[in-house]
Amino acid sequence: MQKLITKMKRVPLLLLIIFGTISFAMANEEFPGGTGSTSDFSVQAFSHPMSGTRGELRRDFNVGNSFFNNVWTASPSSTTLRDGLGPIYNAVSCSSCHFKDGRGRGLPDNEGPVDVSLLFRLRIKTLGSGRDVIPHPVYGGQFQPQSIMGVKAEGTPVVKYERITLSYNDGLFAEILKPIYEFINLNFGPLGENTIVSPRVAPQMIGLGLVEAIDEADILVNEDPLDADGDGISGRANHVYSVVENKAVLGRFGWKAGKPSLLEQNASAFNGDIGITSPLFPYEDCTDAQADCKANTTVEDIAMDRLNNVTTYSQLLAVPVRRDFTKIEVNKGRQVFYSISCTKCHTPSYTTSANAPLDILKNQKIYPYSDFLLHDMGDELADDKEEFYNEEEATTREWRTPPLWGSGLVHAVNGHTRYLHDGRARSLEEAILWHGGEGQKAKDEFMNLSKTDRDNLIEFLNSL
């Protein structure tokens, strides 16, 4: 009896400690992008600099912002600072695809041409060289549907859909649409049987400097390439060639973690997507088969200092504060997310490096919900069912776990609720239903939940 009483006396203290710790952890989580998080949830939610962006940094951010939104024109023109578009390109500005610093919708509701925000990487399976691939010899590494006057564009990507019906354990149904891509109006002949087409939609631009500021070791610690712990999940890091460092380094950005840094990601977007050459990527994206493209190349369309301004801009776009943070359903949904396999890849949190390049990026407790590693996500999401290395060390079947912060604000910013690497999921629910391969177990667990638990989980995702 005495024992029981002392035990009971300890309970409140214990509860205080437990709940004290929880509420402290939760309070952090309300600010997923650390102290610089923004509390604007409007159409501008993804467009704010982290609070603390002042002085020279703020000026650099503003210049970067203007070059991110700038509509490039063909040269020669009256504004040499802002010309050099093409000769072939996907879009005339960064913000045509990352509209309002948000994400592209990628796919139309009905069959037809795809949205400008969806681009296609092209690779050729080379016979007899194992699982390696090369850029398409005629169309190059990326399909450019647009061109300046007097130059042939490459063609038009179109989509049609195959309907797939899934049934939940409780008898309810869901229908998902599998995109099937086709290329029409091809100006340089057919793509050929051995072409691997890899569709990618423009993701939102928030929190990227914080992602860059995560210590490499904190990402690599979650790798389990041989699935040593036997849970069916084998996250791997991509190691990609850096033109700046002239060696292979950890890949962090893009749907296959194919780019090592924001500087290189941005410079390659200027080059491949808009036809803007820079000191980092001095050559236009034309192949030998594209004579008119080659005849219209331009040199150093953007200078290094402007490129650096755009990089500062992309480092500092703030992550929004969580909404409905104390709502019961959201917290129940969070419990579901943590109790089924979601956090095995969507790693909740990190503390950024003390050595980050900018003070406001240092030592920040952040909640991106991603391991930033590659996972085989199954046949249905794969670029090609056969496994080829189509982005450095990432295969046709692998995708980088995307951060989930900002997921619930896509509709407010971009007016759609499209998710996954090509925007095929029309809702967060559909995004989960596409998980296969290493994500199959998580999907099955989701499909076995009660309707209430599923709804709560979606509410939690919408609060991110």
Question: Can you give the binding site for Ca ion, defined by CB under 5 A?
Answer: 84, 139-140, 144, 224, 227, 229, 231, 233, 275, 298, 301
Contacts of 393 (CB under 8 A, 6+ apart): 236, 237, 238, 239, 240, 251, 374
Structure tokens belonging to residue 305: 């200092």
Give the residue with the Cβ less far from Ca ion, 373 or 458. 373
Site for ligand HEC in 98-157 (CB under 6 A): 98, 116-117, 119
When CB distances are held under 5 to 8 angstroms depending on the partner's kind, the choice from Ca ion, ligand HEC, none that residue 179 binds is none
Q: Does 233 engage in binding with ligand HEC (CB under 6 A)? A: yes
Phi, psi of 337 (to 5 degrees): -55, -40
Piece of the chain touching ligand HEC by CB under 6 A; list 144-152, 166-174, 183-191, 202-210? 202-210
Among 381, 394, 409, 413, binds ligand HEC (CB under 6 A): 381
Q: Does the footprint of ligand HEC cover residue 306 (CB under 6 A)?
A: no
For 331, 384, 387, 421, 450, the CA distances from 378, given in Å and listed in that order, are 30, 10, 11, 14, 25
Nearer to ligand HEC (CB atom), residue 127 or residue 223: 223
The one among 265, 298, 353, 456 contacting ligand HEC by CB under 6 A: 265
Which residue type does 158 have? V
Can you tell me whether residue 297 is helix, strand or coil?
coil
Query: How far is 139 from 196, CA to CA, in rounded Å?
Result: 12
431 binds ligand HEC (CB under 6 A): yes
The token pair at 308 is 């650096």
- Rule CB under 6 A: is residue 210 a binding residue for ligand HEC? no
Tokens of 342: 């979601």
Question: Of 123, 125, 236, 435, which lies in the binding site for ligand HEC, with binding defined by CB under 6 A?
Answer: 435
**Out of 38, 53, 90, 390, the residue judged to bind ligand HEC by CB under 6 A:** 90
Environment class of 214 (CB within 10 Å of its CB; exposed 0-12, middle 13-18, buried 19+):
buried
The helix or strand, by DSSP H or E, that contains position 308, with its residue range, turns out to be helix 304-316
Q: In whole angstroms, give the CA distance from residue 327 to residue 338.
A: 17
Does 346 participate in binding ligand HEC (rule CB under 6 A)? yes
The answer to whether the Cα torsion of 258, 210, 370, 432 is positive or negative is negative
The binder of 99, among Ca ion, ligand HEC, none, by C-beta within 5 to 8 A per type, is: none
Residue 160 to residue 304: CA distance in whole angstroms:
41
Residues that bind ligand HEC (CB under 6 A): 68, 90-91, 94, 96-98, 116-117, 119, 200-203, 208, 233, 253-256, 258, 262, 265-266, 269-270, 273-274, 310, 314, 337, 340-342, 344-346, 375, 377, 381, 399, 401-402, 404, 407, 419-421, 428, 431-432, 435, 438-439, 442, 446, 461
